[in-house]
């Protein structure tokens, strides 16, 4: 059976159910009158090369110090920031990346995320990629989960699964895989449904990789066993 992104979405949604990503502490932001979207930006940077459990510890440190806003991180002493996000690993690099993106948004958009994301997706993506330490996966995570832009995120899990099934793409590069997912899903869903579908499928792929399609896969239990050439 040929596997396209529509089929993958249906199988994973039926198995795992809705994931409702990105995880954000809305209670905290309602209490402190802060923008929950910024938590996603911070999380997208902190999750680089680390497990989400470590990111949660760093986010909790920032929340305990009431520092989860653009303005707070932009003015914070760099060493203080490093200490707060230390649980996420690579904290020296990530602290500088957080300082860079907050300074950019504050200086150019007065810390207004709505103004930042109100422009053409390609322009915003180009600006994000120009910032030190922001690669395609981080930029597209921010565009999708913060800006609600129809951009599908490709991560290491997606590449692993694409090789094992395999998906009908010439090469498992970031751009090739992104085009594959966006092209096939755009044929099935109307434009106004693409953002929630992209969010859900990305989260479902992560869930599949964490639970079954691991580095050493648990193929017998995987919901894609009948489709995957890894098990043939």
Q: What is the pLDDT of residue 231?
A: 57
Which of the following CATH numbers is that of domain 5-20+151-231: 1.10.150.170, 3.10.180.10, 1.10.1670.10, 2.30.40.10? 1.10.1670.10
* pLDDT category of residue 15 using cuts at 50, 70 and 90: very high
36-70 burial, b for 16+ CB within 10 Å, e for fewer? Answer: bbbbbbbbbbbbbebeeebbbebbebbbeeebbbb
Cα–Cα distances in Å, from 38 out to 73, 102, 167? Answer: 11, 9, 34
* pLDDT category of residue 1 using cuts at 50, 70 and 90: low
pLDDT tens digits, residue range 100-111?
999 999 999 999
How far apart are alpha carbons 155 and 160 in whole angstroms? Answer: 9
pLDDT tens digits, residue range 80-125?
999 999 999 999 999 999 999 999 999 999 999 999 999 999 999 9
* Residue whose token pair is 């690099």: 93
Q: Which of 56, 119, 63 is nearest to 88 (CA)?
A: 56
How far apart are alpha carbons 117 and 21 in whole angstroms? Answer: 19
pLDDT at 38 over 70: yes
pLDDT tens digits, residue range 156-197?
999 999 999 999 998 889 999 999 999 999 999 999 999 999
Tell me if 5-20+151-231 shares its fold with 34-145. no
pLDDT at 47 over 90: yes
Q: What is the pLDDT of residue 3?
A: 79
Q: Hey, where are the domains in the chain?
A: 5-20+151-231, 34-145
Q: What is the pLDDT of residue 56?
A: 97
Q: What is the pLDDT of residue 232?
A: 46
Tell me the pTM. Answer: 0.95
> Domain 34-145, what architecture?
Orthogonal Bundle (1.10)
Write down the mean pLDDT value for the chain: 95
Q: What is the pLDDT of residue 2?
A: 67
């Amino acid at each position: 059976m040929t596997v396209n992104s529509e089929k993958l979405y249906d199988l994973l949604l039926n198995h795992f159910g809705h994931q409702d990503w990105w995880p954000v502490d809305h209670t905290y932001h309602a209490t402190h009158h802060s923008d929950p979207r910024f938590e996603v930006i911070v999380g997208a940077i902190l999750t680089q090369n680390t497990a989400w459990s470590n990111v949660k510890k760093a986010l909790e440190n920032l929340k305990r110090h009431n520092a989860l806003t653009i303005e707070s991180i932009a003015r914070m002493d760099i060493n203080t920031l490093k200490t707060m996000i230390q649980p996420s690993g690579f904290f020296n690099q990530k602290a500088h990346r957080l300082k860079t993106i907050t300074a950019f948004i504050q200086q150019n958009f007065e810390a207004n995320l709505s103004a930042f994301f109100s422009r053409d997706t390609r322009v915003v993506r180009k600006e994000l990629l120009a910032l030190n330490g922001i690669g395609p996966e981080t930029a597209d995570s921010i565009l999708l989960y913060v800006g609600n832009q129809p951009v599908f995120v490709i991560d290491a899990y997606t590449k692993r699964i694409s090789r094992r099934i395999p998906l009908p793409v010439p090469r498992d590069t970031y751009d090739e895989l992104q085009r594959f997912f966006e092209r096939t899903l755009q044929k099935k869903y109307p434009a106004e449904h693409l953002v929630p579908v992209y969010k859900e499928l990305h989260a479902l792929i992560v869930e599949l990789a964490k639970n079954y399609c691991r580095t050493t896969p648990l193929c017998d239990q995987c919901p894609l066993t009948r489709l995957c050439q890894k098990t043939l």
